[in-house]
Amino acid sequence: MSVYWVGDLQGCDEPLGHLLEEIGFSPSRDRLYVLGDLVNRGPSSLAVLRRLFKMGGSVECVLGNHDLHLLALATGARQPSRTDTLNEILKATDKQSLLDWLQHQALAIFKEDVLMVHAGVLPQWSLSTTLELANEIEQVLRGPDASEFLMNMYGNEPAQWHPSLKGLDRLRCALNAFTRLRFCSLTGHMEFKVKENSAKAPEGYMPWFEVPGRQTMGTRIAFGHWSTLGAVSRTDIWAMDTGCVWGGCLTAIQRDSVSEKPRKIEIKCPPYQTPF
């Protein structure tokens, strides 16, 4: 049995197929974790969802900002962007089954001794707090108030987490950390404008995983979202968005046992999009 983690797919089904062929992935034997942004910008978002859906219980995903955008479009809570490539999903005969499956994916997963999120974890959050907050949002997304939440989830405020936050402010702040975080301050104040690499941190901010005293310091975290950061493989951090949709690579990490050193696998991708 092998366990695999893969970075942002963004509708790039052909590289995903090449990856699964190269590793000889077996749904009956192996496990695959996808770190969010399954869809959008790439040419084959519908094919990606159908492939992952058919893989059944052998695959688990965390939701990324583009996945949530798709759910918001489907409920009428959001208007399409000029850069979206999601119409094929919205017109598909099996749309509802695929969207229901997507809506039941997680915001955070802790399995195989790895915490998985799409973007980041705020420095004040412990592992247990991270999972509790993810569960709060997941329950809303799967419940009767999902449409209202999807309509109100957009916005940068509050940008500072506090346990006393309630209602939509609490959910929005936590969701922004899970799906949009790159840089934050020592106190966990989030910055959303800068999308460059870690060397371009705005004054007073740093990559979220470099904050001294971060409560999840002893937990290995795998995440995507930050294509300009590139691949980072440390004992505590796996950064895995390597810009597949922009002509980079689709990156995966393989581990055959908890004690074995992880192996990185890269599939070179054509430039489906030009960075905006």
0.85 exceeded by pTM = yes
Give a yes or no: residue 161 inside a domain: yes
CATH number, residue 20: 3.60.21.10
Give a yes or no: residue 273 inside a domain: no
* Residue of 275, 234, 231 lying closest to 83 (CA atoms): 275
- pLDDT classification of 118: cutoffs 50, 70, 90: very high
Domain span holding position 102: 3-268
The answer to whether 130 touches 138, Cβ cutoff 8 Å, is: no
Give a yes or no: residue 92 inside a domain: yes
Tell me the two tokens of residue 182: 């790159």
Give a yes or no: residue 30 inside a domain: yes
Three-class HEC string of 79-115: CCCCCCCCHHHHCCCCHHHHHHHHHCCECCEEECCEE
- pLDDT classification of 258: cutoffs 50, 70, 90: low
**Secondary structure element (H or E) that encloses residue 31, with its range:** strand 31-34
Give a yes or no: residue 136 inside a domain: yes
Give a yes or no: residue 69 inside a domain: yes
Give a yes or no: residue 275 inside a domain: no
Provide the domain count of the chain: 1
DSSP assignment of 166-192, as one string? -HHHHHHHHHHHHHH--EE-TT--EE-
For residue 77, what pLDDT is reported? 87
Give the single-character DSSP code of 62: B
Burial profile 63-84: b = 16 or more Cβ within 10 angstroms, e = fewer: bbbbbbbbbbbbbebbeeeeeb
For residue 274, what pLDDT is reported? 62
Give a yes or no: residue 109 inside a domain: yes
Question: Residue 114: phi, psi to the nearest 5?
Answer: -130, 130
Q: In the predicted model, what is the mean pLDDT of residues 228-234?
A: 92
Query: Tens digit of pLDDT for each residue in 121-148?
Result: 999 999 999 999 999 999 999 999 999 9
For residue 272, what pLDDT is reported? 81
